[in-house]
């Protein structure tokens, strides 16, 4: 972040335009400090991976139930691009590799 006052204007505009609300612009100074540490090799960002969320069977079952409840309620629409017989699995895979799909490809028995 090069110019602190310019960065605060940019962040403030982004929050207002994108989120529709203002933010504490002091965060820009905090981010600049973090970026300086990262540039000097003193800071590494990590995030949780899928196994973290799937650590216990109870968590998996609970999250799965929540997901299926949302889908069943109609709040989430699953876009199905294609339905193909299992015998055409190789073709389905080629379509996926070639990025010819948008949405799910369902293989039918």
The 10s digit of each residue's pLDDT in 87-105 is: 999 999 999 999 898 889 9
Cα–Cα distance between 49 and 13 in angstroms, integer? 32
25 and 74: one domain?
A: no
- Token pair, residue 91, equals 């073709």
The answer to whether residue 45 is domain-embedded is no
Q: What is the pTM of this model?
A: 0.41
Quote the Cα angle for 17-2-43, to 5°.
95
CB within 8 A of 4, min separation 6: which ones?
28, 29, 32
- The residue whose two tokens read 């820009």 is 28
| Count of domains forming the chain | 2
Neighbours of 105 (CB within 10 A): 19
The answer to whether residue 74 is domain-embedded is yes
The answer to whether residue 73 is domain-embedded is yes
Domain residues for the domain of 9 are 4-39
Give 68's DSSP letter: H
The 10s digit of each residue's pLDDT in 20-76 is: 666 666 666 666 766 777 777 766 666 667 777 778 899 889 989 999 999 999 998
């Amino acid at each position: 972040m090069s110019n602190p006052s310019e960065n605060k204007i940019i962040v403030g505009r982004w929050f207002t335009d994108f989120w529709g609300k203002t933010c504490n612009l002091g965060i820009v100074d905090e981010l600049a400090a973090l970026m300086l540490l990262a540039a000097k090799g003193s800071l590494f960002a990590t995030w949780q991976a899928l196994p973290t969320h799937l650590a216990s069977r109870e968590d998996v079952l609970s999250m799965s139930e929540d997901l299926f409840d949302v889908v069943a309620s109609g709040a989430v629409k699953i876009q199905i691009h294609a339905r193909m017989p299992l015998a055409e699995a190789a073709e389905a895979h080629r379509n996926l590799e070639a990025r010819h799909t948008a949405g799910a490809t369902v293989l039918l028995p």
